[in-house]
Amino acid sequence: MPTKTINGKTITVDEDGFMTDPSQWDEDVARWLAQELGIEVTDRHLLVLNFMRAEFEKNGQAPSLRKLKNESGVGTKELYKLFPKGPAKKAALIAGLGKPQGCI
């Protein structure tokens, strides 16, 4: 399985770059993963990421875009601004979760 080293910490990822062990995640890892995608993490990003992680803990999977827009407190337009070209998929990657169901 592929790995990435972030600030001296080795994380395991799948072939698409999604972390395979969510317990390896922290905000430093999130910032590094976001930077790889050209995203600078703000408090609004962290709101979405923490919502996603809480949903994952409850349900065992990353939430869909529909659930994100309806329940995170961040609307669709802002989600696309924060995570351009695929907010649910990019947010899940940065949050250290697997690819959301329904994402290609």
**Residues acting as catalytic residues:** 103
**Hey, what are 91's tokens?**
């947010």
CB neighbour list of residue 33: distance below 8 Å, 6 or more residues apart? 6, 93, 94, 96
Q: Tell me the HSE value of 34 on the side-chain side, using a 13 A CA sphere.
A: 22
Decide: 50 and 57 in contact? Cβ < 8 Å. Answer: no
